[in-house]
Chains A and B, each alone.
Chain A
Amino acid sequence: AQRVTQPEKLLSVFKGAPVELKCNYSYSGSPELFWYVQYSRQRLQLLLRHISRESIKGFTADLNKGETSFHLKKPFAQEEDSAMYYCALLNNAGNMLTFGGGTRLMVKP
């Protein structure tokens, strides 16, 4: 069975501070992982996926198979980063996303 865990429901940081949103997974196959973000009053949108290895809005995430983690990082948080962040795992068949419980990031001025 596949499982995604985001241990922090709420993460509060000051503007300019580094941010790390934790995500751990368990999956017997080869994982494909995503981060989705939901800003206030907006729909869930894809932030980044591990296979593209890109940085979006200053965020990066590295897949660590040894630690089964896919933590989301940003060196300097901005107020506009305040949102709900969901880590998600796609199964090998490519048809089912398993989501973590989400972490609410609050960036204070």
Chain B
Amino acid sequence: NAGVMQNPRHLVRRRGQEARLRCSPMKGHSHVYWYRQLPEEGLKFMVYLQKENIIDESGMPKERFSAEFPKEGPSILRIQQVVRGDSAAYFCASSPEGDQPQHFGDGTRLSIL
């Protein structure tokens, strides 16, 4: 079991471009969580998804950010019209059920020029 896979590991975008971050959960896990870590801060919850459903997006900014977890394929976190403040590490986690321990990926480090 390869664990939670995130790609790319590093992503560089210019202001105004779109960023797409991918997360493949561990085999057998149908619950996916996205967290953001700003420099010198802890991880902050963004969104929780199950297959084809957003369960809780209370931590996600209302504009420019969206997430999906389609029936087939990885979960995608999409950031449109990126700004410098979006520079952060974005972590994905998965669990087999909602109340089970979450297993984390290596994260994607997003840098905005």
CB within 8 Å of B: which residues of A?
A: 4, 6, 34, 36, 43-46, 49, 86, 90, 93-102
Contacts and interface: CB of A to CB of B under 8 A. Distances in A.
B57 to A, nearest CB: 11
Contact of B104 (A45, A49, A90, A93): A45
Given A46-B101, A102-B42, A95 B106 contact: no
Interface of B: 3-4, 31, 33, 35, 40-45, 48, 55-56, 58-59, 91, 93, 97-107
B107 A43 contact: yes
B98 A95 contact: yes
A98 B33 CA distance: 12
Contact of A86 (B3, B31, B42, B105): B42
Main secondary structure of the interface of B (DSSP, over half): loop
A86 B89 CA distance: 15
Given A43-B107, A44-B91, A44-B104, A94 B42 contact: no
Contacts, number: 57
A97 B99 CA distance: 10
Given A4-B42, A95-B56, 9 more contacts: A36-B104, A43-B104, A44-B43, A45-B103, A49-B101, A86-B43, A93-B98, A97-B43, A99-B35
Kindly list the 6 A-B residue pairs having the minimum CB-CB distance in the complex, ordered from nearest.
A94-B99, A99-B42, A44-B104, A101-B42, A99-B43, A95-B48
B48 A96 contact: yes
A97 B103 contact: no
B106 A43 contact: yes
Nearest to A86: B42
A27 to B, nearest CB: 14
Contacts of A94: 97-100
B42 A97 contact: no
B106 A90 contact: no
